[in-house]
Amino acid sequence: MKDESKTKSATLTVVAGCLIALLSSACGERLRSGIPAGAQSVLDTTIEDIDAGRYEKLYYEAADEWRKDATLDESRATLQKLHGKLGNVRTRNLLTAREEQTSTGPIPGHSLVVVYQTSFEHGEGMETLTLLEHGGSWYLARYFVSSNALK
């Protein structure tokens, strides 16, 4: 009788574990930060491109909304100016990541707004990256830096 009870208990534990795993994956793959996995991959690549000065690549892989707001030359000039004033990134800590679904506003649609507290060579700042989802893929739509070192 004890063996049967232990077997039922172990079976229930395994079934419960499988159910939790299935429900977790069925609700959309998310990382611990709450950022969808596909968006995290784009975010990581975007940050690497910004840090490495690959501004042309960044421009052509960005959302149409980015390219509607600025030309390649304007984007490159702005990003180079930011880097010139702030220097290289020393540390970058995630503050918030917030998904939005809007039909109006600056960027309508399904977006992800990610804010980092960033330490640059020449000062502290906040980086805000907005990713936009189109057809199941994520794209950079906005990049904004606020810092007293920019004044």
pLDDT of 23-50, one tens digit each? 333 334 445 567 999 999 999 999 999 9
What pTM, to 2 d.p., does this model score? Answer: 0.77
Sign of CA pseudo-dihedral 6, 9, 13, 14: positive
What pLDDT is attached to residue 110?
Answer: 93
Cβ 91 vs Cβ 72: under 8 Å = no
Residue 132, pLDDT > 70, answer: yes
Please, which residues have CB within 8 angstroms of residue 52's CB and are 6 or more apart in sequence? none
Number of helices (H) and strands (E), helices first, in the chain? 5, 4
Closest by CA to 90, choosing from 113, 123, 58, 115, is 123
| Domain boundaries 31-150, CATH class | alpha beta
Residue 120, pLDDT > 90, answer: yes
